[in-house]
Amino acid sequence: MSKKLDMEILASLCKRRGFIFQSSELYGGINGFWDYGPLGCELKRNIKDAWWKAVVRTREDVVGLEATIIMHPSIWKASGHADGFADPMVDCKDCRKRFRADQLCEDQGLELIKNGAAFALPEGAVCPACGSKNLTEPRSFNLMFKTFVGPVEDESNAAWLRPETAQAIFAQFNNIFATARQKIPFGVAQMGKSFRNEINPRNYTFRSREFEQMELEFFIRPDEAIELICGKVTTLADNPDLAGEPQESWGWEVWHRYWVEQRLSWYRAIGLPAGDLEQYWQVGDELAHYARACVDIEYAFPFGVQELEGIAARSDFDLTQHQKHSGKQMDVFDETLKQAAGKLDDAARGAFSQRVVADWTGRGKPEEEARAFVAKLFDGKYVPHVIEPSAGTDRLALALLCNAYDEETLTDDKGKTDMRTVMRFHPSIAPIKLGVFPLVKNKPELYAKAREIFARLQRRWNCFWDESGAIGRRYRRMDEAGTPWCATVDFQTLEDGTVTLRDRDSMQQVRLTVLELIDKLDSEIG
């Protein structure tokens, strides 16, 4: 389980070592905004590179997109954000502070009362700041930041900063499908900034107003199309262990579970311990009306177990919404489906239609819609369904910082004790991979050799040159930066070409040639 870490201590290290600064600190700061310093921006870059590599580069079935932050406002109408992306907010009439009603209740062990779309405060709720009971009723507050495009500030020019990166993927789906040379199932990934005017930014960077997301929309065939092609849809009951590679017969349920497993194993690979990761499967009315399943991947932060990523099976909701609002078709033509449907005789078609109509109407959908859907399927067409793994880069950076932080008491030969602060990042995400030190700086030959080795290694990884202070002090500074190894160039290097490689975690030292060092780091950084 996660060790008890005081967030103040972590924040102070992050500031002192240059991981995270308060945005605009010079002018007193601005709430909910954070800057990443020299070490923090390397950490974030490594997280994003690792995600892109795992989700896009090393797969043949995922492509990328980089869309704009400001998009046509109709996108947010279609997605539901313009009307529904809101949190309930309450004001304290005495101290004038503002809070999110659901969080206020949760923190006080109460439950916010829901009346349809409206909310009410339960008995006993008090202002978390001043203790007053004099609170307003909860009101809806839209989280999107509004701006105006062009010189005229009127409603016809209003636009929003995107509150998620995902919508652009749906809005560009037709262009991507036409150009990417992919067939369903395939995915589109995007990462970048998102903005939410959170009522109460809190828990350090956990809930910010400007943050980055890493999102994948993985498009799959509707189960009915799979049934026509494969004769049967593989469900979790058929394949509970997800054995083997993805199969054409996998239905949405298996694809959803597959992505949960993929994402969990990625979090473990970059160093989050399995014991600190949890899955929360949303139930009943926690699920959005269009979602078939949603799992939150959570991490045991020092301030509680909280969401890192949501993985939702969103059916064809998003593309269908954009089809309705844009008036453009969002369905794909699937040759394999067309051929499979072509092989059915009239009796088989009739039986299939009947079953689909019964199933859809049983789930409260209009019969005409079901019939139109079946007619399209027989023509080889459908609107793709989607599985959406949606992660937050900054939240993950915070989880990795919390997980890395460690304090260790060391005792030297004379029995003197000393405390060492060490950031135990996995080598793949550590901001600096290697510190390179000349043992002394006043021996020109040794110094030149060290510079030569540094220049050579710097071409491969982010390395840090440090020539000031005792070697022990230099090691400690690298421990706080989370640098997994330090290489010291000394007199023996001049004789046999070996350097001393010191390991951050074990503090053990070994002598290696530069080539051996490269091999070792390559295999451990991955």
Q: Minimum distance from CB of 428 to ligand ATP (Å)?
A: 20
Question: Which is closer to ligand ATP, CB of 399 or CB of 499?
Answer: 399
Question: Which is closer to ligand ATP, CB of 271 or CB of 447?
Answer: 271
Q: Minimum distance from CB of 120 to ligand ATP (Å)?
A: 21
**Contact, 110 vs 117, CB < 8 A?**
no
Question: Which is closer to ligand ATP, CB of 73 or CB of 392?
Answer: 392
Q: Minimum distance from CB of 509 to ligand ATP (Å)?
A: 39
Q: Minimum distance from CB of 173 to ligand ATP (Å)?
A: 20
Question: Which is closer to ligand ATP, CB of 208 or CB of 500?
Answer: 208
According to DSSP, residue 134 is labeled -
Start-to-end Cα distance in the chain: 26
Return the amino acid letter for 456: R
Question: Which is closer to ligand ATP, CB of 334 or CB of 388?
Answer: 388
Strand partners, 307: 298
**Contact, 427 vs 525, CB < 8 A?**
yes
Strands 139-142 and 118-120: unpaired
The helices-and-strands tally (H runs, E runs) of the chain is: 18, 25
Question: Which is closer to ligand ATP, CB of 86 or CB of 110?
Answer: 86
Residue, CB closest to ligand ATP: 392
Question: Which is closer to ligand ATP, CB of 200 or CB of 462?
Answer: 200
Distance CA 142, CA 147 (A): 14
Q: Minimum distance from CB of 355 to ligand ATP (Å)?
A: 34
Question: Which is closer to ligand ATP, CB of 394 or CB of 490?
Answer: 394
Chain positions contacting ligand ATP, by CB under 6 A: 164, 196, 198, 207-208, 211, 213, 307-310, 390-392, 394-395
Q: Minimum distance from CB of 391 to ligand ATP (Å)?
A: 6
Please, which residues have CB within 8 angstroms of residue 428's CB and are 6 or more apart in sequence?
Answer: 46, 50, 269, 270, 271, 525, 526
Q: Which residue has the tokens 């079935």?
A: 61
Question: Which is closer to ligand ATP, CB of 166 or CB of 337?
Answer: 166
Q: Minimum distance from CB of 399 to ligand ATP (Å)?
A: 10
Continuous segment of H or E residues that includes residue 488: strand 485-489
To 10 degrees, what angle do helices 335-342 and 367-378 make?
100
**Contact, 305 vs 298, CB < 8 A?**
yes
**Contact, 64 vs 169, CB < 8 A?**
no
Strand partners, 58: none
Q: Minimum distance from CB of 190 to ligand ATP (Å)?
A: 13
Distances from the Cα of 209 to the Cα of 201, 302, 390, angstroms: 7, 21, 17
**Contact, 21 vs 39, CB < 8 A?**
no
Phi-psi region of 191 (alpha: psi -120 to 50; beta: other; left: phi over 0): beta
Question: Which is closer to ligand ATP, CB of 193 or CB of 365?
Answer: 193
The CA R_g of the chain, rounded to the nearest whole Å, is: 27
CA atoms within 13 A on the CB side of 23: 12
Q: Minimum distance from CB of 388 to ligand ATP (Å)?
A: 9
Distance CA 330, CA 34 (A): 38
Q: Minimum distance from CB of 60 to ligand ATP (Å)?
A: 26
Q: Minimum distance from CB of 78 to ligand ATP (Å)?
A: 17
Question: Which is closer to ligand ATP, CB of 388 or CB of 479?
Answer: 388
According to DSSP, residue 113 is labeled E
Sign (positive or negative) of CA dihedral 380, 329, 191, 78: negative
